[in-house]
Structure 1
Amino acid sequence: MAVSAVLWDIGNVIVRWDPRTLYAKFFKEPAQCDRFLSHVCTVEWHVAHDLGVTFADNRAPLLERFPDYADAIHAWETRWWDMFSGPIAETEAAIEALHAAGVPQFALSNMSHEVFDGITAMSPAFERLGGYVISAEIATMKPDPSIYALACERFGFAPRDFLFVDDSARNIDGARALGFDAHHFTDPAALRPALEARGLL
């Protein structure tokens, strides 16, 4: 059966997010930046934010372990928005085109509840989405099957009805295992052809 709705990831699908966008400016030497992101504020450490832990609570142990990096650790929150380089134009255009075609659209994202409002203010395309499931609100992240199930329940569609778009291969595999059609977002130029191939545009 043909898909009839789109379920979007947000980070690096609708808006570009990369801690290096901030910390490459914060540290003078690339090696310093690499060390900080691989040993202090790591991706694994950041996962706690997506599970609902506050920035303040999550940084407290790091401040004790790495006092010399205190300013940089605080910057993960105080300069959070410097990690973004704006919306992805091809995705914005696709969301607008889908909206014009009457295709229901929603979002399923691993994201902190503390930054949700600011992120969704970055583009008018977010106004076209009919609802959100955010990992921090349920302390569960993709690719856990329960978060996909919640999205289906909340939005009133079965997995087979959705095209799921995500930049993470792990999340894509998790969705496909549950019966979703899925597009692995690696090249913005490939998005519209993927939508057209499914008859959504």
Structure 2
Amino acid sequence: MPIDTIVFDFGGVLIDWNPRYLYRKLIADEQQMEWFLSNVCTDEWNVQQDKGRSFAEATSVLQNQFPDHKDLIAMFYGRWEEMLNGEISESVAILRELKDKHYKLYGLTNWSTESFPIAKERYEFLNLFDGILVSGEEKLIKPDPAIFHLLLKRYNLTPETCVFIDDNLNNVKAASSLGFTAIHFQSGALLRDKLVELNVLADENVA
């Protein structure tokens, strides 16, 4: 079946988000910063907010667990915008090309419902999408197959006509198992090569 739809993850694919952009300002020693992000404000803790837990509850729970780091914990969502380092320009250029070629574009992102409006306001290219599914709003999260099924149902999509792009290999494997053509994002250049292989984009090197 011909590909007519491209589904993008956002963080790490189109948007450069990383808590280190903030915490390097707050913790001078790199090893101490890495310890803090590995043991206190962990990825596993942050994922709960992507599943729908409120920032207030998440912060309170962690501050009670690590009272010595109360102020640093408060900064995670208090200064969350400082974790955004701009768009990933090569990927956004590809997104615009796909829009110009009239592919249907959808977003499937693990993102908190409280912080996603900040990104939506900051990055105008998010308006290019025909629809966006945000995990925090749906209380479902990748790689759970349920959120992929919800995407397909809500927008009347067929997985065999969709390319799914994500920087998280577990999410890529989940999409692939459901029939998507799934691409593990590593760089804009490699993404373009993959889309050329799939005849979604034209080879720039061919005159």
Alignment TM class, shorter chain as reference: over 0.9
Q: Distance in 2 between matches of 1:42 and 1:158?
A: 35
Q: Which residue matches 1:62? A: 62
1:113-152 alignment, distance < 5 Å: 113-152=113-152
Which letter does structure 1 place at the counterpart of 2:102? G
**What amino acid maps onto 2:132 in structure 1?**
Y
Give the C-alpha shift of residue 197 in structure 1.
2.0
Q: How far has the Cα of 1:137 moved from its partner? A: 1.5
The aligned residue for residue 190 of structure 1 is 190
Q: Could you tell me which residue of structure 2 aligns to residue 12 of structure 1?
A: 12
Partner of 1:92: 92
The CA distance in 2 between the partners of 1:143 and 1:180, in whole Å, is 13
- 1:145-180 CA deviation, whole Å, 9 max, x = no partner? 110011111111111111000000000000000100
Cross-structure match for 2:205: none
Map of 1:104 onto structure 2: 104
With the length of structure 2 as denominator, give the TM-score of the two structures. 0.94
**Hey, what's the Cα distance between the residues in 2 that align with 1:182 and 1:2?**
15
Partners of 2:127 and 2:193 lie apart in 1 by: 23
Unaligned segments of structure 1, at least 5 residues: none
* Contact persistence 1:6–1:162 (CA under 8 A): yes
Contact 1:90 1:191 in 2 (8 A): no
Deviation at 1:3, TM superposition (A): 1.5
Counterpart contact for 1:15–1:87, Cα < 8 Å: yes
Instruction: Please give the per-residue CA displacement for 1:65-112, whole angstroms capped at 9, x wherever unaligned.
Output: 222211110111111011111100011111111111111100001110
Correspondence list, 1:30-41, <5 A: 30-41=30-41
Equivalent residue number for residue 180 of structure 1: 180
SS at match of 2:72: helix
Corresponding residue SS for 1:133: strand
Q: Which amino acid aligns with 2:195?
A: L
Quote how far apart the aligned CAs of 1:198 are: 1.8
CA distance in 1, matches of 2:126, 2:47: 23
Once the two structures are aligned, what percentage of the paired residues are identical?
Answer: 35
Q: Which runs of 5+ in 2 are unaligned?
A: 202-207
Provide the alpha-carbon RMSD of the alignment. 1.1
Counting matched residue pairs gives 201
Any conservation in 2 of the 1:86–1:122 contact (CA below 8 Å)? no
- 71-80 vs 118-127, which moves further: 118-127
Q: Is the 8 A contact 1:11 1:109 kept in 2?
A: yes
Q: Does 1:47 align with 2:50?
A: no
> What TM-score do you get using the length of structure 1 for normalisation?
0.96
The residue type equivalent to 2:182 in the other structure is: A
